[in-house]
Amino acid sequence: MLGWDTAGRFGYLEIRYDDGRGGYSVYFLELWRADIEGLGFGNPCLARSVAFAHFPLATDSGVEYFSDLDVVYGGEDPAFDNIQAYDLWLRGSDGSAKLVGSAEPRAVHVRVAGYFPSPFENRIAVVLLEERYSFEGTELFPVIFGSNMSVGFQPAEN
């Protein structure tokens, strides 16, 4: 993880030795956009690293947020595509819920690893790990979704 900047961008570095290629890949995500796209830090010296955390996420208001994956199994080839799609939800201890992101991976397994909180605003970068088949076996690939923790939570239905 490289860190957050004051504009809400989150950057991370991935070192991958895959299929004999290897090397470094640097990703910059502007997580406040609905359509996440790779962007560079406007001013790298403003980037600030934070500690990786695990759910539940506790807030000052007393509400705890938990990650929840709704996974649809049954891809075209059950030997290689066990996961057809998934939705990442954040669910509050007060019954509120928010859909953070969706994906249709070619993955065998997916799990929520944790999150990086922004030091500048009430946002988090949720890190998922997708296990996919690679050259010889399987490999873990990080997937990151951003969430503003101040908006978008729907109250519990009675």
Residue 39 pLDDT:
38
Can you say whether the dihedral through the CA atoms of 59, 63, 67, 72 is positive or negative? negative
Extract the tokens encoding 14: 């991935």
Can you say whether the dihedral through the CA atoms of 22, 111, 40, 50 is positive or negative? negative
Question: pTM for this structure?
Answer: 0.75
Determine which of 19-28, 83-92, 102-111 has the lowest per-residue pLDDT on average.
19-28
Place of tokens 């030795």: 17
Q: What is the mean pLDDT of the chain?
A: 76
With cut-offs at 50, 70 and 90, classify the pLDDT of residue 82: confident
Tally Cβ neighbours within 10 Å of residue 112.
Answer: 19
With cut-offs at 50, 70 and 90, classify the pLDDT of residue 91: very high
With cut-offs at 50, 70 and 90, classify the pLDDT of residue 86: very high
Determine which of 33-47, 65-79, 138-152 has the lowest per-residue pLDDT on average.
33-47
| Residue-wise pLDDT tens digits, 26-48 | 555 555 433 333 334 344 444 55
Residue 66 pLDDT:
97
Contact 24, 69 (CB under 8 A): no
